Amino acid sequence: MLPSRSQDTPHRLESLAHQASDYALHMMRTTGSVPPTVIADTDEGLIFCMPSSLTDEAAKDRFADVARLLAIAYNASAIVMVVEAWAKMPDKNGHLDASIPPSQSPDRQEIVALMLEDRAHSATSLLPIVRDARGNFMELGDAGPIHFGESEGRFSGLMKGTAPTAEQSATAKASLQKLRLSVINRGFDPTLNWPPRMANDLIVVMFSKEQVRQHKLAHFLKNFGLAALPFGPALASMMDSFQFLVDGWNDDPNELYAIPEIRRFYQHFQEVWPYWFFFCDLESETLQMMTLCLLPNLTGVKRVGEPKAGVQYDPLDLIRFIEKNFIPLNTMMERAGMSEMDIYHRTRDIFLYFNLPFDAPPPWQFIWSPCFMR
């Protein structure tokens, strides 16, 4: 870190760091990892942007360019880059061996790094990832106060020192559209934050504590209710791309599916928007948590040697829930113009997601045999 441009401690960056920490904790608890994410603090609320992958240097450079464009396009007052990484800390004498990359160091530490900027300041915060002896995630450690100072690297210098002009913002928005990125929400809603979405990317919907307690879904339904959803390929591209999270219970020792307020919220959510099997990402545990909120009889089980209690339920309750939800799944897939084979594959994936056997034959099979040619 180089000397800071200012000795002031901007409240904006501290508040954004707190929100980014909550987001990282949510992702670790619900998906087991934190995707590289840039969060922009704008007049329209917090805007989240996640690439589908950062597999090479070119993809990382492109993501940094997108973050810069996002800050200009929406006149962000501050942004934070959130990445999961390896870190190597100085020893007790303050010495840091820079010759060994952190990922190869035997003393490496798994962290979530927050790199924050506004137009006058830069800051970082390193959140240690704490796991138990089995490698299961437990919590994010205390990073202490954020550290102000200039940072270096491709993900630094993302904010300009002055506010963009209207022309610069319009140009940046046009550039984002060329990259097939657009912001879903329109207008300011401080209780609901929407991420922008690139093609084939994940959409993370986070409901606030107020929304959960008051069953507020109007803003979500305005964007994703049946009347707002597209048809055909545009809808098909949205399948398997949503994760639903709730904010405000980070300090509650209970599992989310055991908290009455959250159970009631997801029960109401299922009633007004029963399309979970079409939209939910099957590579995360969020659909499982949401489903547990709807099963009537849950029993906690604590096994010797296990850090957390498990949960048991009547398998028939799960089967009834799945059967009920296949009707709205088929409705969405037909609206998307998907084939019977597509419906078959999604049905199979749902059964496998819940660790249920699936041996139904495909909707049709064509067997070619020379004996028919006579």
Report DSSP letters for 285-331, one per residue: SHHHHHHHTT-S-EEEE--TT-SS-EEEE-HHHHHHHHHHHHHHHHH
What's the domain range around 124?
11-177
* CA–CA distance, 108 with 113 (Å, rounded to integer): 14
Is 187 contained in some domain?
no
The answer to whether 281 touches 202, Cβ cutoff 8 Å, is yes
Is 147 contained in some domain?
yes
* CA–CA distance, 104 with 107 (Å, rounded to integer): 9
Note whether 251 and 164 are same-domain residues: no
Burial of residue 202 (number of CB atoms within 10 Å: 0-12, 13-18, 19+): buried
Residue 274 tokens, joined? 């029963």
Among 142, 177, 212, the domain boundary falls at 177
* CA–CA distance, 333 with 341 (Å, rounded to integer): 11
Note whether 207 and 168 are same-domain residues: no
The answer to whether 46 touches 80, Cβ cutoff 8 Å, is no
- Overall number of domains in the chain: 2
* CA–CA distance, 294 with 278 (Å, rounded to integer): 17
Is 360 contained in some domain?
no
Digitized pLDDT (tens) for each residue of the chain, 374 residues in all: 333 333 344 677 888 888 888 888 877 877 777 878 888 888 767 777 776 556 667 777 778 888 888 888 888 889 998 888 887 766 666 666 666 666 666 677 888 989 899 888 888 888 999 888 888 888 888 877 888 876 666 777 778 778 888 888 888 887 776 665 545 433 223 333 333 333 345 677 878 788 889 998 887 888 788 988 888 888 888 898 888 888 778 777 888 888 899 999 999 999 999 999 999 988 888 899 899 999 987 775 434 444 445 667 788 888 999 999 999 999 999 999 988 888 888 999 999 999 888 887 776 443 333 333 33
Note whether 243 and 114 are same-domain residues: no
Note whether 68 and 158 are same-domain residues: yes
Note whether 97 and 206 are same-domain residues: no
Is 369 contained in some domain?
no
CA quadruple 69, 71, 72, 73: dihedral, nearest 10: 80
Residue identified by tokens 């948590």 is 289
Note whether 142 and 57 are same-domain residues: yes
**Is the pTM for the entire model greater than 0.75?**
no
Q: Which residues pair with 62 in a beta bridge?
A: none
For the beta carbon of residue 146, count every other beta carbon within 10 angstroms. 21
Is 185 contained in some domain?
no
Q: Which residues pair with 182 in a beta bridge?
A: 197
Note whether 304 and 240 are same-domain residues: yes
Cβ neighbours for 247, distance < 8 A, ≥ 6 positions apart: 22, 26, 206, 207, 208, 209
DSSP-based three-state secondary structure for 333: helix
Cβ neighbours for 94, distance < 8 A, ≥ 6 positions apart: none
Note whether 118 and 154 are same-domain residues: yes
Note whether 158 and 230 are same-domain residues: no
